Amino acid sequence: MLERGLEPDFPPPAQTELAAIKAPAPAAGGMRDLRSLLWASIDNDDSRDLDQLTVAEALTDGSTRILVAIADVDALVRKGSALDAHASCNTTSIYTPGAVFPMLRRACRLISLR
């Protein structure tokens, strides 16, 4: 990872910002609480990085509505912050046989479906 310019570890300033995140981002105006829907993810059952979910709803006219939930990461991670800089460096979570190196550890997990 280092040879490719990636950061396997969160630098201390990013760790400090991460420790300051204690709760989900507050709901923005106009948001609906959709937690009662049966969301699905392509992630493993033990994944702590759910940043995209989908659900299908059968409608009364016989059609199907597909909803996609995408994490609003910037609700908790501000542009120009140390966490943003780390995410910009790696640009993705990196999965290896020995470990997963998340782009945004725990911050994505705190974004609730509202």
Contact 43, 35 (CB under 8 A): no
The reported pLDDT for the residue numbered 17 is 92
pTM above 0.75, yes or no: no
- Taking the CA atoms of the chain, what radius of gyration do you get in angstroms? 16
pLDDT tens string 73-112: 778 888 899 988 888 887 777 777 877 777 665 444 434 4
Give Cβ neighbours of residue 79 (< 8 Å, ≥ 6 apart): none
The reported pLDDT for the residue numbered 76 is 85
pLDDT tens string 13-70: 999 998 998 888 887 777 788 889 998 888 777 776 667 889 999 999 999 999 998 8
- What angle do helix axes 12-20 and 82-90 make, rounded to 10 degrees? 120
Whole-angstrom distance, CA of residue 94 vs CA of residue 104: 11
